[in-house]
Structure 1
Amino acid sequence: MRLVVTGRDGQVAASLLEAGQGNAGLEVVAIGRPELDLTRPQTVIDAIAVAKPDIVVSAAAYTAVDQAEDEPDLAFAVNATGAGKVAEAAARLGVPVIHLSTDYVFDGSAPGAYVETDATAPLGVYGASKLAGEQAVAAANPRHLILRTAWVYSPFGRNFVKTMLRLAADRDEISVVADQWGNPTCALDIADAILHAAAMLRRDNSFTAFGIYHLAGTDETNWSDFARHILDTSRVFGGPWARVRDIATMDYPTKARRPANSRLSSAKFASTFGWNAPDWRRSADKVVRRLVVGETKQALTA
């Protein structure tokens, strides 16, 4: 199976590339700028055609949540128009597309975990652009899986886990928001789930359960308790540690509003594909150990 993923440097793309190493029968090819530029639609069509995928994973995105408030045109060009072109390119080749979306399509006001049929109501430009991207993908390619995920971290790129370890190396106390809840989700697990779903799509030519799915780590927490777990685990492995002080969202103002509730139910994905994410603590432990034991301190800022 030849899996073509958009974006070379993203957490999911990097995780898929790693998963493909030494995996017989699987070839993962990542394509990005300048060959594929989501703001230049024709490059998308051409680059994906040249890559000759069996399945396309649409992972490249504009992810600067606060900056998007000042760059709405760019956010929509990448996350909506660009994502639609990726799905169109896959459709022209007669192959499915697996598109990554986000919890930010919701406003966070629900009392429990969101399911796929809950009403969307993004709070800012980023969420609105990703919701428009879901709609563009669905319109361009009927053979689509749209995977909404949340609180993504990994050994790659910039993310919350690496930020906590970096800050703990320089200070004794870190203030972290305690009134936003969600499911920490490891990109390594997302990659595993994508490969599991892709394999089913390749095996089952009669697969019809295309549509939107939620895909997030098992169990929930808030940002401050997530930070505590990261740093307590780091200390076990001889890495940096700091105290975590709970603060409210109002004490940490940002240009874009964040959902207070980002919890996602992954029951539909588990039922359809027979795959469940590990408990978020287990996955976080593996990533922290890898960062603390297996990489230099300088790598935490990469």
Structure 2
Amino acid sequence: MRTVLVTGGTGYLGQFLVRALDAAAYRVRGPPCIGAGRSENVHRRPQHPALLQVVATHHTTRPAAEKTRVEWHWVDLTSGDGLADCFSALGPELVAVVNCAAASAPAFCEQNADHAAALNVPHQLLKSLAGLAATPLLIHISTDQVYAGTGTPAAGWSEDCKPQPVNVYGATKLEAERAVQASWPKHVILRPSIIVGPPPPFPLHRPLFLQFVLSALSQQKPTTFFTDEWRCPVSVHDIVAACLRLIAEADKPRAHRLYNMGGPHRLSRAEMAEAAAAVGGWSTAAVLRQPAASVTRAAPSPQDIAMDSSLCAADLGVHATPLESVLRAVCAAAQPDP
């Protein structure tokens, strides 16, 4: 049976990707999807046979028990522990691997540089892949923080711009890109900006920017938002759509293997908060507009890493969702039923 592996399946993006694959597993037509697992916790859906097997990994967070056919494996990607057992479950037809696992908090990475490098640079995963007879597509999730944030082109950073990260997080993610490019020719690297969307199906152990903003505004809690730090917030569902498209076309020859994935608008953090206030119907009195230099931070942060993501739209057919649309969907879902 054809198989897909998702590493970091209990992270924010990983949870939505695993769910989307699971939902697609039983479609007659559509992108690849989750198939039969083998663990004792597997719940089968009798109405349709699975099209693919999907295996997902977790580490610090255990996956919640759901009626899915996802097969979960505990793996430590810093040491490689658990990878052998995980790969033994993949079967001979591994179609794609989506590497969502990462230490993504810049402050944590700055204070734990060795651990961040061991996790973010997927040496152990690449070593395991090298031992396979198959050659699956490797989709590696990177970040916009590989860009310097100064001297930003008028159209935003493009894939042709020279990366020059300013913090440990960005440096480890850039090193990861280079390791993937050097070791696994059949790859695609996605560089998302701040990922926004609904709360994840299961809670995370780290704060999410959009949920932090909505919580502060709904409580009218005065909170500092920077006026001079710009990003292109991207919908989690857009990234999932790109991954599904890539998995469905895993064997398609590609002229490009690196894509920016930012939203359609360049926004400061203060503008993001004000947009949330407008959609949620809250006062902007709680939005304290300040420059980034007014706050001491645990890690350097690039100032302007707004990206040009037109190549992704052209090649993958994923047209970025505006932040306002994401906010409307999130706020509508949070409203109690009448």
What's the TM-score bracket when you normalise by the shorter of the two chains? 0.7 to 0.9
Indicate the residue corresponding to 2:79 in structure 1: 40
Cα 1:4/1:241, change in 2 over 3 Å: farther
Q: Which of the pair has the greater relative contact order for Cα pairs under 8 Å at 6+ separation?
A: 1
- Would the aligned equivalents of 1:57 and 1:99 in 2 still touch at CA under 8 Å? yes
- Would the aligned equivalents of 2:262 and 2:320 in 1 still touch at CA under 8 Å? yes
Partners of 1:49 and 1:219 lie apart in 2 by: 44
State the Cα distance separating 1:129 from its structure 2 match.
0.7
Q: Which runs of 5+ in 2 are unaligned?
A: 35-53, 60-72
Indicate the residue corresponding to 1:19 in structure 2: 20
- For the pair 1:74 / 2:120, whether they are aligned, the reply is no
Q: Which moved more, 1:29-38 or 1:10-19?
A: 29-38
- For the pair 1:217 / 2:263, whether they are aligned, the reply is yes
Where 1:201 maps in the other structure, the secondary structure is coil
Equivalent residue for 1:277, pick from 285, 306, 320? 320
Partners of 1:283 and 1:134 lie apart in 2 by: 29
**Matched AA of 1:35:** W
Cα 1:182/1:88, change in 2 over 3 Å: same
CA deviations 1:219-276 (Å, max 9, x no partner) are 221111101112222238xxx9753121100112212111111211112222222222
State the Cα distance separating 1:210 from its structure 2 match.
4.9
Q: Which moved more, 1:61-70 or 1:267-276?
A: 267-276
Indicate the residue corresponding to 2:248 in structure 1: 199
4+ runs deviating over 6 angstroms: none
**Matched AA of 2:16:** S
Indicate the residue corresponding to 1:234 in structure 2: 280
Q: What TM-score comes out, normalization by structure 2 length? A: 0.78
Equivalent residue for 1:164, pick from 209, 213, 218? 213
Larger radius of gyration: 2
Indicate the residue corresponding to 1:135 in structure 2: 178
Q: What TM-score comes out, normalization by structure 1 length? A: 0.86
CA RMSD, aligned part only? 2.3
Equivalent residue for 1:51, pick from 78, 87, 90? 90
Aligned length: 286
CA deviations 1:130-149 (Å, max 9, x no partner) are 11111111122110101011
- Would the aligned equivalents of 1:88 and 1:141 in 2 still touch at CA under 8 Å? no
Structure whose residues are more often helix by fraction: 1
Partners of 2:15 and 2:290 lie apart in 1 by: 33
Q: Which runs of 5+ in 1 are unaligned?
A: 296-302
- Would the aligned equivalents of 1:36 and 1:44 in 2 still touch at CA under 8 Å? yes
Cα 1:161/1:22, change in 2 over 3 Å: same
Equivalent residue for 2:227, pick from 178, 181, 195? 178
**Matched AA of 2:109:** A
Partners of 1:35 and 1:57 lie apart in 2 by: 16
**Matched AA of 1:213:** Y
Cα 1:169/1:108, change in 2 over 3 Å: same
